[in-house]
Amino acid sequence: MKAIKKEVFNRLISSLIKRYEVIAPVKKELVSFEVIKEPKEIFLEKNSYFPVKEFFFRKNETLFEFKGNSVTVPVKKAKGKILLGLRRCDLNSILRQDMAFIDEEVDPYYKKERENSVLIGYHCKKAEDKYCFCGSLKLLDFFDLMLYDKGKRFIVEVGSKKGNEFINKHKQYFKNTNTSLTDKDKIIKNSDRLKKKDISHLYNHPDWKKDVKLCLSCAACNVLCPSCYCFDINDKVNIKDLSKGERFRTWAACQLRCFTKVAGEHVFRDKREERFKHRIYHQLQYFKEKHGVDLCTGCGRCIRGCPTRIDFVKTINEMK
């Protein structure tokens, strides 16, 4: 365990900014993760409204360009990244995306962005609002370093070899401490909101229809989810010269009708209720059946950002 005074921490961040891409929550109209230029931009009082995943899994990304019979893959020189202020929910969402893009099948574009990154977490003492439910899910300690706010200083927990190397590389900023962390220190108060941990038997429950009636199929829940990893691949060609173009991918959303549309105009999940339940069950059931952990990490962004405030956690809790 290490400790660092907050004024010293700011000096460390100033030093890192000169050599790395330092990404942290910044408050403007909304809180979002951005590349910062100075420590005073960092805002740790609230979690980011938008997820951090775009820094690894790009919203729009060119996979390759083609000209005639030649194909050119963009050469990425990913700058070292320091990601700071990540809550436990976001850290676990990065772990889920690692499972999808590295562990299961290696995605070279994602891996390139991910491999030179250091993940520095920030521990929440309590749920940010009534939509958080991270305490209901079995989130893991997944971080390189975790910061625990202790007033004028941070207690720093090392969570990986990379985190230990970071401490050793910048050891002039850190002090040894006899302070220890207990299980109680790691609890996030008021976050255990989802009372039913197994929803496998609830798929045909009539109460889903109450939420479906409110759903606009706008896909805000997909866009704001830090764990969702689906994408579409398309080709864009030069109309003046059809031998030139590029193949690119963009985020996809299972709440849109076009998500399961195939040749012949057939849509596999044509009804809104089918799409609505598919997202919930992928987050809380299907992914867990395959990987042993929920895809959802309980950040509450999908509820917080829903234009009709569909609270599926409340709905599940009330099902009898």
Whether residues 7 and 145 fall in one domain: yes
At residue 226, does pLDDT exceed 80?
yes
Residues forming beta bridges with residue 79, ordered by sequence position: none
Q: What is the mean pLDDT of residues 301-305?
A: 97
Whether residues 14 and 78 fall in one domain: yes
In a domain, 192, yes or no: no
Of 108, 79, 122, 114, nearest to 94 (Cα)? 114
Instruction: Give the per-residue pLDDT at 135.
Output: 95
Whether residues 62 and 210 fall in one domain: no
Q: What is the pLDDT of residues 235-288, one digit of tens each?
A: 999 888 888 999 999 999 999 999 999 999 999 999 999 999 999 999 999 999
At residue 111, does pLDDT exceed 90?
yes
Element (H, E) at 13: helix 6-17
- What value does the mean pLDDT of the chain take? 95
Whether residues 243 and 170 fall in one domain: no
Q: What is the pLDDT of residues 119-157, one digit of tens each?
A: 999 999 999 999 999 999 989 999 999 999 999 999 999
- What is the total count of domains within the chain? 2
Q: Would you place residue 75 in the very low, low, confident or very high pLDDT band (cuts 50, 70, 90)?
A: confident
Whether residues 179 and 295 fall in one domain: no
Q: What is the DSSP code string of 72-140?
A: EPPPP-PPPEEEEEE-HHHHHHHHHHHIIIIIIS--HHHHHHHHTEEEEEE--SB-SSTT--GGGS---
Whether residues 113 and 38 fall in one domain: yes
In a domain, 194, yes or no: no
Q: What is the pLDDT of residues 37-68, one digit of tens each?
A: 999 999 999 999 999 999 999 999 999 999 98
Q: What is the mean pLDDT of residues 219-242?
A: 94
Whether residues 28 and 94 fall in one domain: yes
Pairing of strands 21-27, 81-86: parallel
Domain coverage including residue 314? 200-318
Instruction: Give the per-residue pLDDT at 48.
Output: 97
Q: Would you place residue 158 in the very low, low, confident or very high pLDDT band (cuts 50, 70, 90)?
A: very high
Instruction: Considering only residues 92 and 184, tell me which one the structure prediction assigns the higher pLDDT.
Output: 92
Whether residues 227 and 160 fall in one domain: no
Q: What percent of the chain has pLDDT over 90?
A: 89
Instruction: Give the per-residue pLDDT at 110.
Output: 95
Q: What is the mean pLDDT of residues 212-228?
A: 97
Q: What percent of the chain has pLDDT over 70?
A: 100
Instruction: Give the per-residue pLDDT at 240.
Output: 86
Instruction: Give the per-residue pLDDT at 179.
Output: 87
Instruction: Give the per-residue pLDDT at 180.
Output: 86
Instruction: Give the per-residue pLDDT at 184.
Output: 87
Whether residues 137 and 176 fall in one domain: yes
Q: Would you place residue 183 in the very low, low, confident or very high pLDDT band (cuts 50, 70, 90)?
A: confident
Whether residues 17 and 126 fall in one domain: yes
At residue 78, does pLDDT exceed 90?
no
Instruction: Considering only residues 65 and 180, tell me which one the structure prediction assigns the higher pLDDT.
Output: 65
Which residues, in sequence order, are CB contacts of 98 under 8 Å at separation 6+?
114
Instruction: Give the per-residue pLDDT at 35.
Output: 97
Element (H, E) at 209: helix 208-214
